[in-house]
Structure 1
Amino acid sequence: MNSYKKLIKYYDFDTELGRLVIFFSEKGIVNLSLAEDMESIIQHINNKYGQAIKVDRDEHHYHEEIIEYSKGRLKKFSLPLDLQGTEFQKRVWFELLNIPYGETISYRDLAIKIGNPKGYRAVGGALNKNPILIVVPCHRVMGSNGGLVGFGAGIAMKERLLKLERDNLNLISQ
């Protein structure tokens, strides 16, 4: 069991990409997921962090930037993150934040960027554990042949996110 226990708040909300659920601590977002299997997600959060308490969305503003992104109006998030994982996972996740909106990178190139050129499989494992969909943009990582591979929310969602970014790349300034 993880020793990182604290009060986690959450709420769900609708976006152009579907219904999402966001979990956050006093430091920032710990998880952003599709709200498809809420019971499993809440159980996972309770096991990892401690008690998750549902709160009124109108008292918080995390969803506003995510909704703007889903409408193609926002390129860069300014949301606080509270990423919890191994040091390697966090290194990978923080490097994802440097991939520009509308651009992609291969697993291999990402491994090189974090100083572990032969660690592309380990990078894939870290991406698979990325707890913050969309904001930590693992959807921007492609297979070595440029193909759409591996995405926790499904390949169709990865394709949708990449299309959203390509279609709006030159339409928004931030």
Structure 2
Amino acid sequence: MYRYQFSAPTGYITFFGDHRGLVRVTLQDDKVTLPNQQYPQWLDLAIKVVERYLQGEKVDLTTIPVDWREIGGTEFQQRVWHGCQQIGYGSLRAYSWLAERIGCPRGYQAVGQALGRNPVPLVIPCHRVIAKNGLGGFTGGLRIKRALLSLEGQDDNCWRG
């Protein structure tokens, strides 16, 4: 298992991956000491993409490979996660929009639950999905969600109900 940690304005982002791609991303306040290791080419490229993103550059985080076999999830969760990857940089969509997009127009609460189990936030950009009447939730916490949205050029007037 490969691990790499980024320092971000909101704390630390840690990537976990295997030889095929990313399997987990964690967002936390504390730095973790990781062993020095040589990284596969996909992770070297992912590191560069995320560093550019954290500097405010408009990049496509979905270019980072994900090992879909390893991240698990139900068929429904994977549909939600793939649908969420279609939401571009700086865009906001409601849970209900994503539910319709994946063919479950009444499933907005289930969509929210699936996003709450997102194993690779940022790459599956669940921070871009909001409630119709406000910000909604986020696994990494609302402080981090706000910071990521601000980094992408969204101000808090866009998501206040």
Q: Take 1:57 and 1:33, find their aligned partners in 2: how far apart are those partners? A: 20
Bigger Cα displacement from structure 2, 81-90 vs 148-157:
81-90
Match of 1:11 among 4, 9, 26: 4
Match of 1:159 among 134, 146, 149: 146
- Count of residues paired in the alignment: 146
Q: Is the 8 A contact 1:16 1:67 kept in 2?
A: no
Match of 1:137 among 110, 125, 149: 125
**Cα distance change of structure 1 residues 137 and 103 upon mapping to structure 2, 3 Å threshold:** same
Q: Take 1:9 and 1:151, find their aligned partners in 2: how far apart are those partners? A: 25
- After TM superposition, the score normalised by the length of structure 1 is 0.75
Deviation, structure 1 residue 74? 3.2
* Cα displacement string for residues 50-78 of structure 1 (whole angstroms, at most 9, x for unaligned residues): xxx95526664132211110111132122
Aligned AA (1:81)? V
Q: Is the 8 A contact 2:84 2:124 kept in 1?
A: yes
**Matching of residue 31 in structure 1 with residue 24 in structure 2:** yes
* Cα displacement string for residues 17-72 of structure 1 (whole angstroms, at most 9, x for unaligned residues): 43211100121101111244689xxxxxxxxxxxxx95526664132211110111
* Cα displacement string for residues 67-126 of structure 1 (whole angstroms, at most 9, x for unaligned residues): 110111132122111132111111111111111111111111110000001111110110
Identity %, equivalent residues: 38
**Matching of residue 125 in structure 1 with residue 109 in structure 2:** no
List alignment gaps of at least 5 residues for structure 1. 1-7, 40-52, 168-174
